[in-house]
Amino acid sequence: MMKHWQLTVDTEGIAWLSLDTAGASMNKLSAEVLAEFSECLNRFDQHAPAGLIIQSAKSSGFIAGADIEEFRQLDSAEKARELIARGWDLFNRLAAVPYPTLALIRGICLGGGLELSLACRYRIAVDDSGTRMGLPEVLLGIVPGWGGMLRLPQVIGPQAALNMMLTGKTLDARRARRAGLVDLAVAPRVMKDSARGLLRSGKPPRQLTGLARLMNHSIARPIIAAMARKQVAKKASPKHYPAPYAIIDIWQKANGNALANPTLLDAIVGSSTTQNLVRVFFLQERLKSLGKESAFKAQHVHVVGAGVMGGDIAAWCALRGYTVTLQDQSTEQIAPALARAAKLFGKRLRDPLKERAARDRLIPDPTGAGVRHADVVIEAIYENLEAKHALLKVLEPQLKPNAILATNTSSLRIEDLRTALRDPSRFIGIHFFNPVAMMPLVEVIEAPGAQAQAIADGMAFVRSIDKLPLPVKSAPGFLVNAVLAPYMLTAMRAVDTGHPPSTIDAAMRAFGMPMGPVELADTVGLDIAVAAGRTLSGGVAPPQCLMQIVEAGHLGKKTGRGFYEWTNGKIAGRPAASAIPAGLAESLITPLVERAEALVRDGVVMDADLADAGIIFGTGFAPFLGGPLNWKSNRSAA
Ligand code: NAI
């Protein structure tokens, strides 16, 4: 009798071992789950089955990975080493059993789940939309220590393997088949027969051939490793992100055995980066769970305004499976949004039939006929109170009884917008960030008097399109823009006092931001920066540098000139930064931190963790620091 695994032996003597981690919605490889698996192997040592097929008994997927909660509780380097040894030894044992083994993978198969599969002789991926395979440990600041660094390079070649392990990118069933990660990608209805057939085929396990095999040879490893280090260095410094460098080292010098270099392992597990990235993982889980508090289910989304935001919101919802009607003043105004949507579908779906289906789901609707069928109506027309009032008055009488009516406004007050409505209680803000496809966060805005159900429904909708919903109370700039405003203002004041923009940006990139604040202003548009400054900076005079550039008619990236010169969407010949003065980054980030603290104090955002989560997922704030408030408290503790 096992708690987590179910074992059946069929008439051919094949053992089918199905994982159903008790008390969890997804399969995880906790210590208990691994211990039971080890007992199964003991039993098979006594009576070898004709073959072993490992599968999931859960519809939520194959195996999501190790139990990260156990990881969070590690309090010594020794325990961390024990945890690594647990999976490393067990999967080495699985790889050495004399009977054939096969992982039948349907749904997500990540981290330890993929490492278990890699230790099997064969792998079959079921080709349905949920199947994704990868080793995302690096995103948590750790390394795939249960055999991933040893076996993935042996199966798909070191370059492809390092690419997956260093980026955390996942493959769907077909791409996994093409990469050689699985032996077969099959339709769900034939998966069991295919598994049986392959298991009994007697075929030798997949082996690397040709160039890929040579690349994994110890002579070639230093060259591949040097190339990989160079690639990583473009994106992450070893000081901020030690794990990717450790992955390369462990593959190159220890054939993937993390236990061979305890000092390196201890440094990784004990680093603040790892703790903070694990924290960010749990913050993300918390945001996801906030979207589960309502059973609201939508089928049809109607978006009004096919501009930068509305067009991309509509495309994103269609990509995620909704029927979407997109309204603007004319068909001509909708056309560019449809063209952008087609590009997005092409990039994300990479399957002509699926792309066509997504295009069919996105329906141009110049007369607004979709409103009365929609479960969610999002207003994204230009930022003008009168225009929005007029629109809301037309929309309201046509709404279905429990439909969500939402605005994407950045700077108008929900309280002012809803005066046009007869029933303002279901009106909420659903505030997306630009570019919609790239930004994971969506703020769900509650004004006083809003129905709690409307907010919960809005959060559920946001989660259903695979974004992270953050509940925020109505206040100027909500959370994300409110904290960015004083940060960008301070950066431009620093330009006024003589710091070159390139030095300011370099200081913040070195701090860990994905983009410096001056480059960010150029990217957002300097007209928008001026307007945001007016509403969010409490009436203080705008920075001189900003006004001079705007008065000269330059608006940043979109006009080819701002604080920087721009060509083809890139800064032309980035000016060299002068030496970064000590303390510059701290002085620039402090206003952001202080504003975040004030917003928590005022209850605009529920608590410090949610503020950190919002700022990380809404601005890209250095994840390895765990959020601005976490950064401050760690600094004060140090
Ligand atoms: P935009 O100017 O690109 O697009 C607005 C669209 O609305 C235009 O295509 C216009 O023809 C259409 N429109 C205007 N009145 C209309 C009406 N009565 N009926 C139907 N269509 C109408 O504007 P953008 O940048 O997309 O902004 C839209 C909203 O999103 C604004 O409320 C803005 O504050 C908000 N927002 C903008 C962000 C950005 O980065 N641009 C980020 C987050 C929110």
Region 570-585 average pLDDT:
93
Q: Find the mean pLDDT for residues 553-575.
A: 94
The response to whether residue 439 sits with its C-beta less than 6 Å from ligand 1 reads no
Helix, strand, coil percentages for the chain (3-state, nearest 5): 55, 15, 35
Residue nearest to atom 15 of ligand 1 (CA): 381
Q: Comparing 506 with 637, which gets the higher pLDDT?
A: 506
What pLDDT is attached to residue 627? 97
131 — alpha (psi -120 to 50), left (phi > 0) or beta?
beta
Alpha helices for 406-562 (secondary structure H)? 414-417, 452-464, 480-496, 501-511, 517-524, 526-536, 544-551
Cα-to-centroid distance, 217 and ligand 1 (Å): 56
Q: Ligand 1 centroid vs 305 CA: distance in angstroms?
A: 5
Mutate to test the pocket of ligand 1, among 309, 416, 528 (most ligand atoms within 8 A of CB): 309
pLDDT tens digits, 300-324: 999 999 999 999 999 999 999 999 9
- CB-ligand 1 contact for 395 (6 Å cutoff): no
Residue 1: its pLDDT value, please?
82
Token code pair at residue 264: 């390196």
Q: Evaluate the CA torsion angle 490, 494, 500, 505 in order and state its sign.
A: negative
Establish whether residue 329 lines the binding site of ligand 1, counting it when its CB lies within 6 angstroms of any ligand atom.
yes
Average pLDDT score over residue span 294-304 = 97
536 lines ligand 1 (CB under 6 A): no
Identify whether 431 is a catalytic site residue.
yes
- pTM of this prediction exceeds 0.85: yes
Tokens 């005022």 -> residue: 602
- Per-residue pLDDT reduced to its tens digit, 370-414: 999 999 999 999 999 999 999 999 999 999 999 999 999 999 999
Q: Which residue's CA lies nearest to atom 18 of ligand 1?
A: 391
Q: Which of 316, 382, 619 to mutate to test the pocket of ligand 1 (most atoms within 8 A of CB)?
A: 382
Q: How far is the C-alpha of 387 from the C-alpha of 366, rounded, in Å?
A: 16
pLDDT given for residue 75 in this prediction: 79
What is the average pLDDT across 21-26? Answer: 95
Measured by CA distance, the residue closest to atom 9 of ligand 1 is 307
pLDDT value, residue 74: 83
- Check residue 207 and give its pLDDT: 87
18 pocket-lining for ligand 1 (C-beta < 6 Å):
no
> Which pLDDT value is given to residue 538?
80
Kindly tell me the number of DSSP H helices and DSSP E strands found in the chain.
27, 20
Ligand 1 pocket: which of 327, 332, 338, 381 to mutate (most atoms within 8 A of CB): 381
The per-residue pLDDT for range 403-448, each reduced to its tens digit, is: 999 999 999 999 999 999 999 999 999 999 999 999 999 999 999 9
Instruction: Confirm or reject: Cβ of 381 under 6 Å from ligand 1.
Output: yes
**CB of 406 closer than 6 angstroms to any ligand 1 atom:** no
Query: Which residue's CA is the nearest one to ligand 1's atom 35?
Result: 409
Residue-wise pLDDT for 181-192, tens only, equals 999 999 999 999
pLDDT at 638 exceeding the cut of 80: no
The phi and psi torsions of 147 (rounded to 5 degrees) equal 105, -5
Mean pLDDT of the chain: 96
**Predicted confidence band of residue 350 (pLDDT cuts 50, 70, 90):** confident
| 327 CB within 6 A, ligand 1 | yes
pLDDT at 421: 97
CA-angle at 609, arms to 618 and 506, nearest 5°? 45
pLDDT, average across residues 496-500: 96
So what's the pLDDT on residue 539?
A: 82
pLDDT score for 535: 84
Residue with tokens 């077909």: 174
Taking the centre of ligand 1 as the mean of its atom positions, its distance from the CA of residue 530, in whole angstroms, is 18
Residue 50 · residue 14 · CB < 8 Å:
yes
Range from 91-100, 260-269, 419-428 carrying the lowest mean pLDDT:
260-269
Map tokens 């590690």 to a residue: 74
Active-site residue (options: 4, 431, 499, 554)? 431
Share of the chain above pLDDT 90, in %: 90
The pLDDT assigned to 567 comes to: 95
pLDDT confidence of residue 536: 87
pLDDT at 534 over 90: no
Q: Is residue 213 packed enough to be buried (19+ CB in 10 Å), middle (13-18) or exposed (0-12)?
A: middle
CB-based contact 228:248 (threshold 8 Å): yes
Please check the confidence at residue 71 and state whether its pLDDT lies above 90: no
Q: How do residues 322-346 score in pLDDT, each as one tens digit?
A: 999 999 999 999 999 999 999 999 9
Centre of ligand 1 from the C-alpha of residue 329, in Å: 12
What is the atom index within ligand 1 of the atom nearest the CA of 330?
Answer: 11
